[in-house]
Amino acid sequence: MAGATITVTDADFEEKVLKSNKPVLVDFWAAWCGPCRQIAPSLEAIAAEHDEIVVAKLNIDENPATAAKYGVMSIPTLNVYQGGEVAKTIVGAKPKAAIERDLEGFIG
């Protein structure tokens, strides 16, 4: 499903993220978060350029249970899930190149 980000919710998080056969980068975001809007184009580009990772977005206002379960205290928080576990956490807005560096080992 390369080319676009997907939206995940509390209800389908396990199915779409934890059971995925690919690493999943989940962007914990909210509509009122300026830095979240700032990194959104970079995440869209990463989704389009790297089919070896799934890029998902979870709105914390609409889906507070998942954010609370994973201890997301500030946004944007990007968690990479692999094999049902958090493999990497990236906090804060960064340029696309910095996000891609942080994702080394997950993207080619």
State residue 23's pLDDT score.
Answer: 97
State residue 103's pLDDT score.
Answer: 97
3-class state of residue 33 by DSSP: coil
Residue type for 75, please? I
**pLDDT < 50 stretches in the chain:** 1
In sequence order, what are the beta bridge partners of 107? 104
State residue 2's pLDDT score.
Answer: 55
Pick the closest to residue 95 from 53, 24, 22, 45 (CA basis): 45
Tokens of 74: 């500030």
Task: Give the pLDDT confidence of 51-82 residue by residue, as tens digits.
Answer: 999 999 999 999 999 999 999 999 999 999 99
CA pseudo-torsion sign 74, 59, 2, 44: negative
Catalytic residues: 33, 36
State residue 108's pLDDT score.
Answer: 81
